[in-house]
Structure 1
């Protein structure tokens, strides 16, 4: 923080010595203002005026605010009577002032700036401003205008300023416009800025009465402190083991004074905010005991992130090793977790599996990372689809596809249940990519029917299951009656080419 001698004084009229309060901007500029002006124009400052003020005639209250000097200067000039309103020709700068006006409840300025926004022919950036200012009506109208411009393509859906929004808001925008373009129903209360409450993520709750196993369930010669969970479950632990495992826990244990609450049997208690079903596997991964086998992705994720929180190195390493194995069960959620944590290789692995998801759905982890992360994934998935389409065209021509199959190319941002059931592109994409993601397989340059069919072919996986996937694809194809072995050969050849192309895609996390 800057020292008092480093503070600047704003320009006229915010430099008058007779002002009765000082607003200190984030970048260290002092604005000398009058309570009467602030109180008349802002409900927020009207409430602050009633707070006790410093005693003494010359001393003035200094109120630090989070806005920079340019934003605060513009806001105050809008609020002060008699002066000219600032001319702002940049949407995002209007957004900064609008956010401040909403925060400080300056209703007249909010109305004026909303009218100014309506003059810009840039609905995507207006949408961003509406979301930042928590003005759903502005965001809703901007989204409508953007969709009507038929710009619903990945090449036109993202602008750099959108990185200030979470991926979840970007998802809700795409979902909104996709539903609008398909003629779907849209709720009148559709919110771009707030997650659906029914999907709010929280620590998984135990499914039955929680039982603490040995050695954490009772006093012993080795236990000298109790870890108490958020749901009031006690774990008898050894302070020395935890201190060796984590310097952060060592500090927490050291700071738990002898005078802190004690259990009924006299043990010191360290209360932690995590629930028991998270702390138990965390302690088991820390102690020299058999590691727990956790298959539930959500629980395993909470354990992993908690291990990182408390800097439990061994527990984090073991939990992460198990978590990586479960990525295919929740690939998109895993992608956002990995991005948030800065795990590059895990994020790439998750993205590779996430391209197989049959439909796009909201997940609470989208709220944790910038919109740029979701945009990068969508662009990666589009490149994967284009590679599959190219391979499909070499495998079989459009002329031989059943007339009932929708031949729209897979360039849409979203896939839907209807697309998945009818789109031949998706069937091939899912089959080829799933086989390629599970195992490398053996890709012989050529093979014939002279010998028995190999049990593993080309794209990986067991051959009976692989050929079953191929026949499932062909079920929707009114294809030519050619040699089935030729079809299988071409299917494997071009599928391999598609996956080779996908493997070579550079995906930046």
Structure 2
């Protein structure tokens, strides 16, 4: 949540360079976290960000003749210079490092400044040298890439979708369609069929229709964290659904323009709408239930919020959806389960994905999950294949049972780049957690080998974050 504040510009310490060191009509002072001040045209800030516009308009209503100063605690003077130069039409653009771009993007989203976020996205897409630097550092082995880049600072806040495209780009040695970009999936880029490259579609209707409020008038307003959306609701439904919301409601005071108490929650508009549906008992997530998985990320966010507010029946719904996805598409089940912090379901999905050594496919939910979600899946599969190879090596076979070089097949399936990214599917009839089983094994022996491999794989832990408080 944005932390900017506005107050009197009683003492000004201008140390910035042009054009921010000259006071002109319509200027206000913008102050960095380290106490450096910038003269900025207020109209530019108001146009750039609704958060700034709200702060400035509120202050002007108090006394339009008093000089104002906005403090932005998220940016120091160097970062604020870059931030303002992107917004200012008269300022020359500056070169940003990857870390600076990351910070600009984070703060731009916080203040809903689309000029900032759009500019950073454009800059990221043309910095192909970043990808080549990773390639040079970790070599051409995708196994080493996946193991090494988790701690690489430039990947800290990227998405699983971008991480998927990085590996896809390297596997193809940079031979990708002209429309290919790293930050977003584009039609025709080759990473997947355009038929599955849809985006999240918010739910079409509000959680209650107007007739419901005609029957029982609303007695509370629920406001989303960005201050952009407000929903009329009924206290009784929220109190019955959540003991945490009940405590928050009990502490509210009246005083809004509607005469109703206002409950402000940090969730955004779309998550808030679905969360309110949960409170009213609408736990049937129809999009997922009927095969439309474009809303998976939104559902996961809403379920995380439901867990935070202790709405227990929602978890049962999430588990049911994951269960259905396990049979249909373990990749969807994995990202859904991780997003909802359901470790058992996430582990089952990861295990299914690791059992058959086929390339992981792209799904739209990757665009809304952090890179570590996909990275941990890659690591888990590599670890299960290594454990399976260790269990397999303890067996001895007669020569007629192993016509091929079993040891070399096992080694390549565990350590080669196909463990993480591959263009050719393996033979499902002989592969089991990366191990090539001899083709002439008797049924009893094959069962014994698979049981031993399963026991070894059971000991591999999938890393997953704990539920946030």
User: Cα–Cα, structure 1 residues 9 and 200, in superposed 2: closer, same or farther, change >3 Å?
Assistant: farther
Residue in 2 that maps onto 1:298: 293
Pair 1:388-2:388 in alignment: yes
Deviations 1:192-215 (A, max 9, x none): 112336523335999xxx9xxxxx
Describe the SS at the equivalent of 1:62: strand
Work out which of the residue numbers 172, 175, 179 in structure 2 matches 1:189: 179
Residue in 2 that maps onto 1:420: 426
Residue in 1 that maps onto 2:149: 157
Deviations 1:466-495 (A, max 9, x none): xxxx9xx65xx4x6xxxx54xx44433332
Unaligned segments of structure 2, at least 5 residues: 107-119, 188-193, 219-232, 260-268, 465-469
Pair 1:507-2:456 in alignment: no
Q: Supply the distance in 2 between the matched residues of 1:22 and 1:277 (Cα, whole angstroms).
A: 40
Residue in 1 that maps onto 2:160: 167
Q: Supply the distance in 1 between the matched residues of 2:100 and 2:136 (Cα, whole angstroms).
A: 15
Pair 1:140-2:128 in alignment: yes
Residue in 1 that maps onto 2:35: 29
Deviations 1:272-315 (A, max 9, x none): 979x999999977569xxx9994747399576765766769364
Q: Is contact 1:331-1:354 (8 Å) kept?
A: yes
Q: Supply the distance in 2 between the matched residues of 1:360 and 1:175 (Cα, whole angstroms).
A: 11
Q: Supply the distance in 2 between the matched residues of 1:319 and 1:501 (Cα, whole angstroms).
A: 32
Describe the SS at the equivalent of 1:180: coil
Describe the SS at the equivalent of 1:366: helix
Residue in 2 that maps onto 1:326: 324
User: Cα–Cα, structure 1 residues 223 and 44, in superposed 2: closer, same or farther, change >3 Å?
Assistant: closer
Pair 1:62-2:69 in alignment: yes
Q: Supply the distance in 2 between the matched residues of 1:505 and 1:388 (Cα, whole angstroms).
A: 10
Q: Supply the distance in 2 between the matched residues of 1:489 and 1:224 (Cα, whole angstroms).
A: 67
Show the 5 A alignment for 1:458-497. Answer: 474=438, 477=439, 484-485=441-442, 488-497=443-452
Unaligned segments of structure 1, at least 5 residues: 76-96, 118-123, 211-215, 227-236, 259-271, 433-469
Q: Supply the distance in 2 between the matched residues of 1:399 and 1:106 (Cα, whole angstroms).
A: 74
Cα-Cα RMSD: 5.9
Residue in 2 that maps onto 1:71: 78
How does the TM-score come out when normalised to structure 1?
Answer: 0.54
User: Cα–Cα, structure 1 residues 239 and 64, in superposed 2: closer, same or farther, change >3 Å?
Assistant: closer
Instruction: Quote the offset at 1:157 in angstroms.
Output: 3.0
Instruction: Quote the offset at 1:343 in angstroms.
Output: 3.4
Residue in 2 that maps onto 1:341: 340
Deviations 1:402-426 (A, max 9, x none): 79979733332534351424895xx
Deviations 1:408-461 (A, max 9, x none): 33332534351424895xx1227x9xxxxxxxxxxxxxxxxxxxxxxxxxxxxx
Deviations 1:350-398 (A, max 9, x none): 3233324622222222222322232222112111111223334444699
Pair 1:409-2:376 in alignment: no
Q: Is contact 1:380-1:507 (8 Å) kept?
A: yes
* Equivalent residues, number: 375
Q: Supply the distance in 1 between the matched residues of 2:64 and 2:311 (Cα, whole angstroms).
A: 58
Work out which of the residue numbers 164, 173, 177 in structure 2 matches 1:180: 173
Deviations 1:24-67 (A, max 9, x none): 346373414477xxx9xxx989xx9xx99989998545355575
Q: Is contact 1:169-1:192 (8 Å) kept?
A: yes
User: Cα–Cα, structure 1 residues 502 and 369, in superposed 2: closer, same or farther, change >3 Å?
Assistant: same
Instruction: Quote the offset at 1:322 in angstroms.
Output: 1.4
Deviations 1:224-259 (A, max 9, x none): 589xxxxxxxxxx999668744687998xx99989x
Larger Rg: 1
Instruction: Quote the offset at 1:316 in angstroms.
Output: 1.0
Instruction: Quote the offset at 1:500 in angstroms.
Output: 1.7
Instruction: Quote the offset at 1:104 in angstroms.
Output: 4.9
Pair 1:355-2:376 in alignment: no
Work out which of the residue numbers 404, 412, 433 in structure 2 matches 1:429: 433
Q: Is contact 1:128-1:139 (8 Å) kept?
A: no
How does the TM-score come out when normalised to structure 2?
Answer: 0.58
User: Cα–Cα, structure 1 residues 341 and 304, in superposed 2: closer, same or farther, change >3 Å?
Assistant: closer
Q: Is contact 1:359-1:414 (8 Å) kept?
A: yes
Describe the SS at the equivalent of 2:460: coil
Q: Supply the distance in 2 between the matched residues of 1:491 and 1:374 (Cα, whole angstroms).
A: 32
